[in-house]
Each structure stands twice: as structure tokens, then as C-alpha cells.
Structure 1
Amino acid sequence: MQTKESKQKETFLTRLRRSFLHVNSDKQTDSRIRQTYQSLSHWHDFQIKLFWEGIVVGIFSGLVISFFRWALTQAEMLRILLYDSLAGRPAWYTGAWFAALFIVAYVLYRLTKHEPMAGGSGIPQVKGVILGLMRFNWFRILYVKLAAGVIGLGAGLSLGREGPSIQLGAVTAQGVSRFLGRSRMEERYLITSGASAGLATAFNAPLAGVIFSLEEIHRNFSAVVLLPAMTAALTATFISRLFFGRDTIFNFYGLPPMPLDHHMVFALLTA
């Protein structure tokens, strides 16, 4: 005979399936629902598990984004050398370079055609996955985003590293979640943590990564999401500093103080 607790669990599973999933009963669905139920039943243990998983996400995201930063630096240095070599050359050298840029554009088009979810900045896609409106093929996005980002930014296209780094961190976190066999609810927390780690590694700024992921990606401030986001961002920043040191991306040294008469101008510009 079923105990009262087992009956309550079965009732909860049935209601959860009917209310939120709207799918037919199968073993995979029941397994995911039971994982969610167990997480909610052992909330304290669930938070501790998220803490350790945030560290794992931070390690792998830190390695991926550090490689991305290194590849971008090498591509930008190569572009500068190429532009320097074009100075004083005949006009057809410049024409050949423009033709090469068209080839680069075609390669980027084919890459985004191969995986449309890797197009653009990637931030809206991450939001869509967390809201349950989209799905990632994490491995395909990982290599397409890496290749497209390095080729595009290396060629001098007007793109930032913020969005690609956030999406790379998010898909890396999803890969960790899939490898560990986590539930969809837990996976969303880990994806937010990966986004936090991605931005933190890209700019060597862990606090900015945490605030951005909570405010813009997850849109929810709670201890259950703050804890893994912080551990992932701090761990990823530590990994990044092993390779690049403590310098930030944008360094400003010896800035003179602003004259008083300039404050009114800036006040008008920012009003």
C-alpha cells in the first residue's frame, strides 16, 4: 500500500506534468519531474549542490572564454600587421583585401546558416532558453560562435566581445548540465551562472558579470541563483587571471582632472 507521502508525491508529479509540460507521459518526462521534485524537497542540499556546480561551470567557462580572448588578441595583432603591410602598396593590394573581406562575410554567413542560434550577440537567445522559449544545441553553438567571433572580430568588423562571451559561457554551462544529467530547472540556474562567468572572464570583472546575469539574463534576485552566479564568476575570473593577469580590457592611466568649466557641458550632454 502507498504511504501518504508517496501519494502526495505522485499527485504532485501528475499536476506538474499536466500544468507545465503539456506532454504525454513517458519515462524521460517522469525522470525530469522527479529530479525537480527531489530538488524542491531538499532545498538546502540543492543550494549546496548549486554552489559546487557553479565552481565547475566557472572552471570550464573560464577556460573557454580565456581561449576566446587569446584568439581575438592574436587575430587583432594579425590584422594590424596586415594593415601596416598595405601602407604604400599598389592599389590592387587594397582591392584584394576588400575581396578577402567579402570572403570573410560569406564564411560568417555560412556559419550562422549552419547554426542560426549562434548569430547576433547571443544574449536574446540565452534569455529565451532560460524562459523556456528556445533550445540550445550547445556543442554546435560553441564551435560556431568561437569560429565566427574570432573571424569576424579579427577581420575588424564592428562587434563587441560581450555578447559572444555571455553566450559561450551559457552554452558551456549547458554542456556541464547535460553531462551531469541535471533537471531543466537546475539547468537554467547553471546557464545563468555560465553567462555570469562569460562576462566576468571577458572583461576581468566578476561583479559586473554577476549583476548583469541577474539583472538582464535571469531577471530575478534570489539566493538560489546568486550563489552559483557568484561562484562561477569568481572561479572564471581566477582562471582568466592565471593567463592574462589582473589587467582589465580597457585600461586608463594618468587621466588629468576634468576642468570645472567642462562639467556644465557634460551635464547638458547627459541630461
Structure 2
Amino acid sequence: MKLPFQIDLKGRVAVVTGAGGVLCSELAGALAHSGAAVALLDLNGEAAEAAAAKLREQGCQAIGIAADVLSRASLEAAAEQVKQVLGPCDLLLNGAGGNHPKGTTTKEWLEPNDLDDPELTTFFDLDPKGVEFVFNLNFLGTLLPTQIFAKQMLGRPHASIINISSMNAFCPLTKIPAYSGAKAAVSNFTQWLAVHFSRVGIRVNALAPGFFLTQQNHKLLIDEATGDYTARAHKIIAHTPMQRFGKTEELIGTLLWLVCDDASSFVNGVVVPIDGG
């Protein structure tokens, strides 16, 4: 893996949730190639272990663990495994999150006759359970791992937590009120937690990615029949000054800056936009 710059994380243990996905497996790799021993956690244990196996093939120390970020028991079991195999957690990257169709409207705007069309999901049709799932996955899926793993960080030097928010937290995207609101909660929680942990030596910051192509949004942005961008994708790019989607590796520099005490020891409670303008 090519890193934008080198930092030294030797002797540090990093835990990454959502690490079976495109973005977080890449971020886990950046931490591993910087010398950290990395535990990759994901609901899909096979995906987590596959990503960890690739890192081990590259000479890194990494393990994959099946873990549900909405289950305290699952997280406690994962934390014990991390402690036994790698040691106590020093760095936590809360990457698990996502959206759900039941928290999404069909159209961007409500128009007068929409309520008469049974094919549409309007704001009034949003399923409370779907909205609840999105909030739980993004917000509780950040809070619960922090409760479990931050206990291992207490009293350890250079402890750091990085959350994954979204540019939706700054500027809500149309059609996805549940996801936008949930990520706003993650940003708010990041600021709250930075103050709360400020006297026990744990810094808390967040990345706010704009649009990056991932497994979760592939159908939204790429037409499966043609392989071209969808109308939604073209609209997003038209509103992005740099006129393109982000590349996964473009998140790495900000992550390494935030976890490196030599570079950011007085940076706490920030949510950094990475969105092409």
C-alpha cells in the first residue's frame, strides 16, 4: 500500500468496525502499514477475515473478527479477543454505518399529487422501523463500540477515536432524511465525546466523506445495465467542484494526521470534510 506520508504506529493496537467494506478495509490497511496491530471487525466475519488475511500476506499484523456493533455482548466478546491476541485498544475507528431503503423517499421533492400514487414512498410513508434501523446502525453503532473499547484506552498514551460522519451531516442530501440525521448525530456525538474524554487523554475526531463509490451506494450511482453513471450520480458530480467522486485512498491522509500525536496532539472534536469542495 502506498501511503501519502509515513507515521509510526508500532506498538499500538487499532480496532476498526465496518472493516469488511471498501472504505474501512482501506483505512484499516493504512493503520496496519503504519505499524499498528489491527483488529478488523465486521458483521460479516468472513469479509473481515478476508481483509485481515490480505494484510497478513503483506507483512502486517491483523486479525478479522465477526462482531455486531449493535450488540453489547458481541462487542464485549470481540474486545476480549482483541485484548488477548493483540493487546489493549489504543485506536478505535468507528466505521460501521449505512442507509436503508425504508428510510428513503422515492422523490426529492413532494408534489401535490404524490399521495395518490401508491408506487411512491413519500415522507409520509417512511417506515419508523426503517428510520430507527438507520439511526441505530450509525449512532448506536458508534456509541456502543466506544463504550466497550474506550475502557481499554484509559490510562494509555496517545489514545484516539476516529468516527465516520458524512457531508450529509453538514448539508442533508435529498431523499435520505434518516441517514442525514443519523450522521448529524455522529458529528454531534464526536464533539460531545471529545469534551467528555478530554481529561482522560483520549482525543475524539471524525472524518466526513463526501461521495466515494462503495458497495453500499454502487446501485445508486452506477447503472447496472450500462455501467454508466446514473442520473443521481451526474447530479452529485455537477454539485461537486472537483467534478468527480472521491477515491478511497484520499481518506488516508486525514486519518493518519488525526491518529498521529506528533501531528495533531491539540486537535480534538473536529469533523473534517473530505468532499472535493
Same topology, TM > 0.5: no
Which protein shows a greater Rg? 1
- Superposition TM-score, scaled by structure 1 size: 0.24
- Superposition TM-score, scaled by structure 2 size: 0.24
| Structure number with higher strand proportion | 2
